[in-house]
A and B are shown apart, each in its own frame.
Chain A
């Protein structure tokens, strides 16, 4: 008894407790739902069998059904466009802003903080505002483009199948930029100043310093931010609900919105779960990238 106690306070038992607590936590809050989700994807689940675990087993029927639906391919393609477009935009604008504030002019840190407002706002509010901005007849965006002479006639950002997905991407870039900026700014701040001094003495110009010092030193931050961006983008739901509802004609529908629509509008929980499983595979890929890019930060 005493040995057991001392092992728990200081010894192998202590290590096991330390590992065990988060492990149990993870298993209960992530592992079980994940396994349950996979189970559901092989079952026929409707609203009345939602409460039980034993349900008709249908094998790969949900997967086959989904993959043979005509809209599936375009929705998956939209998802990829949405993810790549959003992350590229968020990253480029965020990096540009981070570099801009890095100059550290008076008030820079204040302004940088203010940028976070967009990240703090609830997605539905952001969606409602962009809904007005992107509106075809009286939208602010159309007005600006026409006043600056870039456009004659209105573009129906939300309702034209050629633009609807990009309308949501635009809103999502705005939403995620500040988060990218803050993370990149901390990455920039962590680069030792003497590196730049040394480079300057060796005659490196600003461009060379950026390519040979800033970017390589930021490698892990950039890897992390892109992986996080992938996860956040795949989670983005509110903007779709607020701006296009996945329409018109599924032209702005993406996997995560589709999963919600199947589960909570059509009450076909089995198919909703199936899409979630497919998405989980994508997210696991992102998680691998994230872990690999941040791994060398941990030094024993």
Chain B
């Protein structure tokens, strides 16, 4: 009896499922989209809005975990089961583009009325570019800048409206702000042995005139020496070596670090947690008038070259791009667009912080683009860690990294 009843209910469930399936129009084109966005983030909501248009294209959404995006995507692609659309972290984009796993969108973008390359910040655009062709569309972007505690600036006799502009000033300011008896470090950032370390260090090297291909050039050595000085003189906590950006900035919010280098994802938590006046500034440069640079984070849209419906998939991307206007308002993420002003939020502090980040975004540069980025990044992380622990001199450490990057063929 028990078994029979189960079988009947299973049969009923199957029947109702197939009925529900039939209610979707038979001629609908089905697309599959993978992303790591949760329900409060753009992708699933945009998919819902898109499907609600009932324009003959229906998108099925699947959420991935951060660590799984690349490995899931490549497994799916190599076994012929790739989704039509995916969101991919920008340093990983070139790996797929260079193997033609992503669809070349150059022609479609050329004809598009919605997606225009000139509307995007140069950094994010560069990250979707491979061999001068577009293999994706930037989805959102972020960068890092300097947060500082105005109350601590005043207490140390510094002008809270004059944040440090150069590396020398930054170190001098950090020295004045450091107060071991009160458990206050001058500055906090992250030199962790993972992608975060590279993310934080590369802008410094780039401001010094280096690129990942010339990571042992003079400017990069100077950058690493400044980092080392800040750790050696205990202007930053030794735990900088093992702490993520998020955890490091938490010490800033708690008043245990007077400055912090991190991104716009910190703003909301800081508004809630920081019980002091704070401000933001562009990343200090090596010397006055030197070129600016910053890191560039966040994901890109891409279409797999294996898709059976490239036109429909691109139509979906156009729809997503058309919603960039309200991206900050709806999801708190910055669109990668230079033509869209970030609308005022009504919170002066938040608005001024956002203005800093939007300004900094003009100088943001992608990591790579290189299909071998993870290995290049590892070489840079190793150099950072080797020199900050005092086991290798900055110059020697970066020489090693440069040799490794060269042998990888970056």
A residues engaging B (CB < 8 A)? 47-52, 71, 135-138, 156, 158-161, 164, 243-251, 261, 264-268
Contact = CB atoms under 8 A, between A and B. Distances in A.
Contacts of B375: 266, 268
A214 to B, nearest CB: 42
Contacts of B105: none
Given A137-B251, A248-B389, A47 B193 contact: no
Nearest to B374: A266
A11 to B, nearest CB: 33
Given A137-B256, A158-B242, A266-B374, A250 B71 contact: no
Interface stretch (B12-20, B73-81, B316-324): B73-81
B67 interface: yes
B387 to A, nearest CB: 9
B385 A160 contact: no
A256 to B, nearest CB: 16
Given A51-B78, A137-B251, A245-B192, A250 B378 contact: no
B247 to A, nearest CB: 9
Contacts, number: 92
B385 A248 contact: yes
B78 A48 contact: yes
Given A161-B389, A245-B193, A47 B242 contact: no
The prevalent SS among residues of A at the interface is loop
Interface of B: 67, 70-71, 74-75, 77-79, 95, 99, 101, 183, 185, 192-194, 237-242, 251, 256, 374-375, 378, 382, 385-386, 388-389, 391
B79 A249 contact: no
Contacts of A47: 70-71, 74, 78, 95
Given A247-B242, A266-B374, A161 B391 contact: yes
A159 B256 contact: no
A167 to B, nearest CB: 9
A250 B99 CA distance: 32
Contacts of B241: 158-159, 247-248
Contacts of B99: 48
10 contacts: A47-B95, A48-B101, A136-B237, A137-B185, A156-B239, A158-B241, A246-B193, A248-B389, A266-B378, A267-B71
Given A48-B77, A51-B79, A247-B385, 9 more contacts: A52-B78, A71-B382, A158-B241, A243-B242, A248-B385, A250-B385, A266-B374, A267-B374, A268-B375
B386 A159 contact: no
